[in-house]
Structure formats: C-alpha cells, structure tokens
Amino acid sequence: MNLETDILVIGGGSAGTMAAIVAKEQNPDADVTILEKGEINRSGSIARGMDALNIVVQPGITTPELYMNSARIATEGIVDYKPSYVMAERSYSILKRLEGWGIRFPRDEENKYISLQVHAKGSFLLEMDSPELKLVLAEKVKEAGVRVVNRTIVTKLLVNNGEVNGAMGFNIRTGEFVVCKAKATILSNGGCARFSLPNSGYLYGTFDYPGNAGDGYSLAYRAGAQLTGFEYTNCSPLIKDINCPLLYITLTRGAEIVNALGETIDLEYVSTQRMLKELREGRGPVFIKMNHLSEERIQEIERILFSVERPIQKRFWENRGVDFREGLIELGETEYQLCGGHGLTGIVVNEKAETTLKGLYAAGDVACVPLQHLTGAFVFGEVAAEEAVKFVSNKEHSKIDQNLINDEEQRLLKVLENNKTGTISVQDFEYKVRRTIGDYVVPPKNETKLNRFLWWLPRFRKEMTNIRITDHHELSRFEEIQFILDCAELSVHASLARKESRWGWFHHRTDYPEKDDENWLKHVVLAKGLKSGEVQTVLVPIDDGGDP
C-alpha cells in the first residue's frame, strides 16, 4: 500500500485522535492519515472510558504558576518550564472542548466542577464521567474525514537529511507492506508498557496499554531524534494480579491504606512512593480499606470502577469474593514502565511539540512532558496539529530515496523467511528479555547490574535469528522485541549517566544513594551517534523559563 498525505499521525490513541481532529479543523482541505497498530475504536491507553482529567487549571481558582510549583515538586526539579506551562495554560480549553463533545464533568451543589486533591499543591484533578471516551474520539476522527489505516505497525521512519518524510510498516494480519509519504509526521504511539514483567507473570497483563512496546521511542531514536528521562523507571502499587488503577478513585473519596501490621499509612497526598516504601521495608502487603465509608460513597466508587474505569473489575471482585464494605483490596507492585504520561520519559519536545528532527512532532506518552497524563495528550495533540498544519502549508512532498523503501521491505521479508525454522517462540523470547530487564535494569540500580544488561544485549540481538515466526502477527511481536531492547539500552545508559539517586525508588542507585542537586539538577539526553551508531549521552540544563 502506497499512500501520500499532508500530515501522518502514528498512533490513534488519545493524543493521535486529537491531533488528527484538530489538523482537519485547522485546514479542512488537508489530507490527514492515522496509522494505528490496533483498531482505533478501542486502542491506546484510554481504550474505553476515563474517570478524571488529571490536570485542569480553572480560571479564578488555580493558576498555571501554581501547577508549575506542584510539577517541580513531583519531578524533583527535572521539568522544563515552557512545555508544562503550555499544558497547564491550555488545559481548561481542553475541558471545554470535551464538554462540547458531550463528555460529562460532574458539578457539585454550587455548580462547581468536582475537584480532587492528588497534587502536592493545588487541586487540579477534575472528576470526569465518560464511559465511552475512546469511541467519542474515534467518531470525531471519522466525522472529520481522516483516513485511518488500522492493524498497521510502523517499523521505520522515512528520513532524508535530518527531515522526517513519513513512515513504513506492515499490516499485522495480511502482511501488506505500507509506505506513507508525508509532509509532516506526528508520533503519538505511547510509551513502553511492556518493559519488565507484571507480578502476575502474564506478558500482556500490564497496567498500561500492552500494545505500547516503546515503538515511538525506538523509531525516533533510530531516526536521530533526542530523548530524555529514560532513567525514570516507574511502577505503581495497584490491584494485585490485575494491575488495574483505583488509587485516585478510592483514596480521594476517603479510603485508607493499611499495611500488613494493620497500621494506617498517613498520606499527605496520593503518594505511590510512600506505599512502595512499606513494601520495600517488609511491612507489606498493603491494602485499600473502605469499610468505614458510607454506603453512598462505596456505591459511588463502585459505579466509577465498574462502568467507567475498567469494567472487568466487577467480575474480578465477584470471583474473588471481595465486598468493598468489609473486605480489603490487596495492592501489588506493577511492572516497570517508561512513560511520559505517568513518568518523565520521552522524546525531547519544546512547547510547540517539535522534536529535534525537522518535520517530526510528538504528543502524548511518547513525548517528554513530565507527568502530563491525559491532559497533556490532548493539549499536545492540539499543539502538534496546529504546528504541523503551519509547517506543511505551501510545502511540497520531499523526494524519497526508493532504496530506503526497498531495503526495509526486503528486511522484513528476510526476517519472515529466515525465521520460519526458528526454535524459540516469540512469546518465550520476549519473556526472557523482560525478565532480564527486571533483573538488571530496574531499581535498585548500580553500575555492575546495569553493565550486566549491556553484556546480555548483543546476545539477545544475535539470538533473535532463532525466534520462530509463522505469521505476520508474530513478525510484529518480533519487531516489538527490538523496540523493547532499544528502550532497555537507552534506560541503562541514562541510569549509568545519572550518578545519584532521585525520584525515590524510581532511580535508586545503591552506589550513589544520595540526591545531588548541585551536580545533577539537569536532563540526561540521549541520541544515536551519527558515526558510531551507539548511544550518546549529554547533560542539558533545566530550562526554567526565566521563572525565579
């Protein structure tokens, strides 16, 4: 399949759908295409509904400046002012856009939006009642006249002289090779959920969307873009064995955390680090306790959990025989992930969603706007679309070297042909890779452990010739393993570079156990060496925007 488009969006989740919709709003005559690895109606981290919009600055109630104060606390200073400020500044208009689409934000008896306290400073999280948010977004994409190509994994960006001119990949069911030439490209295909293994042991039983295998990180890295925050390896204490979220839904409504000794854990705000500390120090497991809440409040929690946020929970708790009115909810540590929404990891972008490569923009979890959550995905989907539309105005398609296209198609065909007789299943190989990441890459970290993974890395890449591939779906899993390995390599190099401990457990180095603001209040930025092809590391000062 050969396509030409003005703006190519890679990934049809929250950021990608918003980008495509806004691009068509900005210029109805623009040709906009989404390449989506899944099916756009139910793809991305918000595959169904959502219970809250995590960051909203309400005029007259909170301010972008107050949000920035909170963001600096949450990120321990590793945050650039301008992109995060833009997200906060535009957050209220996002809420109004969503309301215009029929998304409900509940109000109290004084007709004020219901806000919940989860940030260190200021109340920015607004309650949201949207059981079918993703379907609303997908329908808006359809109404806008955006071309959507589902079930297509992107394997390589088209790059010429430092400018991105589209992408290549294939249909994971039919194997059809897809080339999409574009004047501007927006990466919005999520973080790396499949990093270490979940506590359940199931490969795809991850907290975040399991289709997120670090595709965007790897594609951008191989194309020559800069990335940062890969030393921030984060996990969360969520429902044991199912890894579903419920902390914000329960704790903000009066639920409590108790440890294995029956002690109530005092939380100044919803601090996952405080809960993880209980587990690390042997006072686990930890539980959510709700039997002191009123029946009305418990029913409110059940309504949100069972209709908006992962409805499978209703059946899960029924089968476990757990009633929130008397039983405890055990929390377990999730897999580690790399993510710009729940973490600090991503492609380096400025306040215009521009990456360090011409013609390439990034939005959502794939971009480094720290702890941006759903708000950041929507805001930077808008921003990326606005900037891309301006960029392609009066721009002609760049000439593409046909050899680049032929080489990628032949590479994929060669893998499919040569690996038919492999002896290791793609699932077993991924299990081994992610188990090894859990052994050596995630905290607690030290130089010896991290270097052990670098010893394993070339061996994994060499042994990939022994993976058995019998169809195009397995070929897509093969490609995803390469993405995961790239992400692990980037994480190791970033972790080795940051010779301190920061962000609590998420970058705890036993050989450098103290935080060192004097030397390490800066970004660790990664890029592919143009000559060596190896990971290059550079330290970049924090851009405080001139803010005191």
Of the candidates 83, 47, 51, the residue with the CA atom closest to the CA atom of residue 67: 83
pLDDT at 229: 98
Last residue of a domain, one of 300, 316, 333: 333
> Rg for the chain (alpha carbons), in Å?
22
Domain co-membership, 320 together with 185: no
199 shares its domain with 267: no
- Rounded to the nearest 10 degrees, the angle between the axes of helix 215-223 and helix 472-497 is 70
SS (H, E, C) 424-477: EEHHHHHHHHHHHHHHHCCCCECHHHHHHHHHHHHHHHHHHHHEECCCHHHHHH
CATH code of the domain in which 261 resides? 3.90.700.10
**Token code pair at residue 307:** 């209709």
What CATH code is carried by the domain that includes residue 368? 3.50.50.60
CA–CA gap between residue 151 and residue 173 (Å, rounded): 7
Count Cα neighbours of 98 within 13 Å in the Cβ-side half-sphere.
32
Residues 319 and 466 in one domain: no
Read off the amino acid at residue 7. Answer: I
484, 213 contact by CB (below 8 A): yes
175: Cβ–Cβ under 8 A, 6 or more apart, which residues?
A: 416, 472, 475
For the chain, how many structural domains are there in total? 3
Locate 169 and state its tokens.
Answer: 């990949």
Backbone angles phi, psi at 373, to 5 degrees: 55, -155
Does residue 528 lie within any of the structural domains?
A: no
Any idea of the CA torsion for 335, 337, 342, 347, to the nearest 10 degrees?
180
Instruction: Compute the distance between CA of residue 441 and CA of residue 232 in angstroms, rounded to an integer.
Output: 11
**Residues 274 and 153 reside in one and the same domain:** no
* pLDDT of res. 295: 95
Q: For strand 360-362 and strand 424-425, is the pairing parallel, antiparallel, or unpaired?
A: unpaired
Last residue of a domain, one of 402, 426, 451: 402
Around Cβ 171, how many Cβ atoms within 10 Å? 17
pTM for this predicted structure:
0.96
Domain carrying residue 496: 404-523
Q: Are residues 307 and 449 in the same domain?
A: no
Q: Tell me: the pLDDT tens digits for 136-168?
A: 999 999 999 999 999 999 999 999 989 999 999
Which tokens in the block code for residue 528? 């592919």
Residue 70 lies in a domain: no
Is 306 in the same domain as 409? no
Q: What is the pLDDT of residue 548?
A: 42
Q: Say what the pLDDT of residue 348 is.
A: 98
What sign does the CA torsion over 497, 363, 179, 46 have?
positive
Segments of the chain scoring below 50 in pLDDT: 548
Residue 288 lies in a domain: yes
In this structure, are 136 and 11 located in the same domain?
Answer: yes
| SS3 label, residue 346 | strand
At which of 309, 333, 357 does a domain end?
333
How many whole angstroms separate alpha carbon 69 and alpha carbon 57?
Answer: 13
422 plus 479 within the same structural domain: yes
pLDDT at residue 269, rounded to an integer: 63
CATH for 431: 1.20.58.100
- pLDDT at residue 351, rounded to an integer: 97
3-state helix, strand, coil in the chain (%, to 5): 40, 20, 40
